[in-house]
Chains A and B, each alone.
Chain A
Amino acid sequence: MKLYIISDKAFQTPLYKAIERAIRTYFSQKRFEITFEEIDQGDLDFCMGCFGCWTKKPGECVIPDKMGQINQTFMNSDGVIYLSPVVFGQFSANIKNAIDRWIPNALPFFETRTDGSTMHPPRYASYPKQLIIGYQMGMSEEDAQLFKDITEKHRTNVAVITVDDLDFDLSRLFDSIQFERIGGPL
């Protein structure tokens, strides 16, 4: 089983290091093959909203940098964990840019979901199971809730958790998630 971990190199706080250690320990015991991606400022150009990934080179970002390889590794993993700092209740700039530049993996069309909201259909038959871990020491309850809402209110099949101090235990959460590929809506 392949696990891909995407993290922000610019926010490697003691809390980050503790979470990273917990992930490495847990998943290497479970014999996952782990690939770590640390994204630093300047590693990736910003998404420029050109939609070339839908109409020029369908399925691939047109910017020739490391993002192509990140999307390829993403699509070929069984599980993906985003390890994101919580900044103003959202993903940090580095992580958010990698998420913006993930959209080549969806199709451009509009779909109305059963609750009346809109979403794009999947491009692939299956995707890795995703978990988003938002970390920041002493974050406010509002920021933690906002961080969860951004994903939970709008996405299917993506789990989110926030960690706000060093006294955490993620193993029960990891036990409860099947890091294997899943189909269905994004």
Chain B
Amino acid sequence: MIRAHKNVILINGSPKRTNVSMSGWLAAFAEQRLKGELLEVKLIRAQKSLLNDNMAHDFETLRDADALVFIFPLYVFCLPGLLMRYLEDFYDFLKTQYSDDESIDQRGIKIYAVVNAGFVEPEVNLEAVRVIRSFSEKIQANFRFGVLIGGGPMIPNTQNALFMKPTIRALDAAFLKIGEDIAGEGQSLPADLQISVNFPKKLYHFMGDHRWISSVKKNGLKKKDLYRRPYQTLR
């Protein structure tokens, strides 16, 4: 029998302790676009696996997949600590799967990185994509390309707004490209994709700053409390 379909695992790497996150939204979006006759898609949430000590089971799934798509937020210009723990542990798991004189060899697996950031500039995610590339090399997997997304937190709430149309179209195209690349035998390596919100940066900053002020107030504090310096007095 010809093995017609491929197994794709979407790893949601958001450290948020809830399903509601930009990475969760992107993973659901990706699942819809990717699943079909050729691709079987499964979702994994790294934070949940770590919490439930479900890693060994996850790692077997990852090891046996045809493609891994890491979907995560940018934290201080690279990967969140939680996702690093997950990757370090996956690497250690793979080492136990091979005897000493054999190197880790996941040559068959294609790897993709989908990184979203709070800042609007998609290129801020470049180093995070390079980390996933470096990780892929260490496990001798086949890193393909990254999708770099700026202004992430704005997207889910405004996905139906007119101004968000180009961004949603670009995301559609990005996951279509990932799907084609997984299904295909393509030798050529696609370039990274950069996607941002079609929104003036000054206004994005203004609205963001406003959101911080309204959320401290919602928490029963005053605007000036935002500026507290709890560790100042000691010096």
Chain A residues packing against B (C-beta within 8 Å): 41, 46-51, 54-56, 58-60, 71-72, 75-76, 87-103, 105, 107-112, 116-118, 123-124, 142-143, 146, 149-151, 153-155
Contacts and interface: CB of A to CB of B under 8 A. Distances in A.
B84 A87 contact: yes
A69 to B, nearest CB: 10
Contacts of A59: 228-231
Contacts of B80: 46-47, 49, 96-97, 100
Contact of B229 (A55, A108, A123): A123
A76 B134 contact: no
8 closest A-B pairs (Cβ-Cβ)?
A: A97-B81, A93-B84, A75-B231, A93-B85, A96-B81, A110-B205, A118-B119, A46-B82
Given A71-B231, A110-B209, A103 B76 contact: yes
Interface of B: 14-17, 21, 47, 50, 73, 75-82, 84-85, 87-88, 119-121, 124, 127, 130-132, 134-135, 138, 201, 204-205, 208-209, 212, 215-216, 218-219, 221, 225-232, 234-235
Contacts of B50: 46
Contacts, number: 163
B167 to A, nearest CB: 18
A49 to B, nearest CB: 5
Contacts of B76: 96, 99-100, 102-103
Given A49-B15, A76-B234, A112-B205, A143 B78 contact: no
Given A48-B17, A59-B230, A110-B205, A76 B127 contact: no
Q: Which of A71, A96, A154 has the most CB of B within 10 A?
A: A96
Contacts of B79: 90, 96
A96 B221 CA distance: 30
B64 to A, nearest CB: 22
